[in-house]
Amino acid sequence: MKLIVWDHVLRRGAYMKKILIVYYSLGGNTKSAAEYVAEGVAKGGAEPVVKTGTEATPEDLVSCDGIIVGSPDYFGYMAGGLKDFFDRSWFPAREKVNGMPYAVFITCGGNGEAIGNVVKICRRFKFIKAAQPVIIKRKPMGRDIEKLITLGQTLTGKVNANNYHPGEKPLSGHKYLNFLHNRLKWLRSIRYRF
């Protein structure tokens, strides 16, 4: 019993991390890419929550530990369905997701200019970049699949390392030491209750 309490206190919640993979796809290339990213997240030890931009809600964003955003490049801009997700999530979620790790992937036929727009919106939400963006030309094949799986694993690794929880900024330096000190005092106070 004490071990469970100790683990919960130090890691601030012993649960499987959730990574939201939100994308939009008309032709199927971005959907295929999102599935490979989800495979990487699962291999990294987190639960992938895969939704299109029109299905995802602000609650999905707030309840996850990290986000991976995927879009096709439509005329140098992200897909409208993905933009719709960001628009609907702005007021309900933006203050609750400061410091959340993010990553981006784009499928395109050209040069992937949409990546700049997606990154700009992620910065407005004050997400923290956890991996380099991945640009896939058309349908993911061969080496592209490896890049997408690695993207999912990389973000999951960063989420696990930072102990980010929805609505919190990651603790660092003296704040983390103060947190540990207070939790140890709490543990000492409850030691005789078991």
Q: What is the CATH number of the domain that holds 150?
A: 3.40.50.360
Tell me how far apart the alpha carbons of residues 20 and 138 are, in angstroms, rounded to a whole number: 23
Tell me how far apart the alpha carbons of residues 67 and 13 are, in angstroms, rounded to a whole number: 19
Q: Characterize 28-59 residue by residue with b for buried, 16 or more Cβ atoms within 10 angstroms of its Cβ, and e for exposed.
A: ebbbbbbbbbbbbbbebebbbbbbbbeebebe
Of residues 89, 68, 86, 78, the one with CA closest to residue 25: 78
Flag whether 183 is in a domain.
no
Flag whether 33 is in a domain.
yes
- Asked if the model's pLDDT at residue 167 lies above 90, the reply is no
> pLDDT band at residue 13, thresholds of 50, 70 and 90?
very low
Q: Give the residue numbers spanning the domain of 128.
A: 16-170
Flag whether 179 is in a domain.
no
- Asked if the model's pLDDT at residue 115 lies above 70, the reply is yes
> pLDDT band at residue 192, thresholds of 50, 70 and 90?
low
Flag whether 4 is in a domain.
no
- Asked if the model's pLDDT at residue 190 lies above 90, the reply is no
Flag whether 192 is in a domain.
no
- Asked if the model's pLDDT at residue 93 lies above 50, the reply is yes
**How distant, in Å, are the alpha carbons of 10, 16, 50, 162 from that of 21?**
28, 16, 5, 19
Flag whether 92 is in a domain.
yes
Mean pLDDT of 108-133: 91
Flag whether 194 is in a domain.
no
Rounded to the nearest 5 percent, the helix, strand and coil shares of the chain are: 50, 20, 30
In tens, the pLDDT along 132-155 reads: 999 999 899 999 999 999 999 999
Predicted local distance difference test score (pLDDT) of residue 5? 37
Flag whether 181 is in a domain.
no
Q: How many domains does the chain have?
A: 1
- Asked if the model's pLDDT at residue 179 lies above 80, the reply is no
Of residues 101, 86, 104, the one with CA closest to residue 37: 104
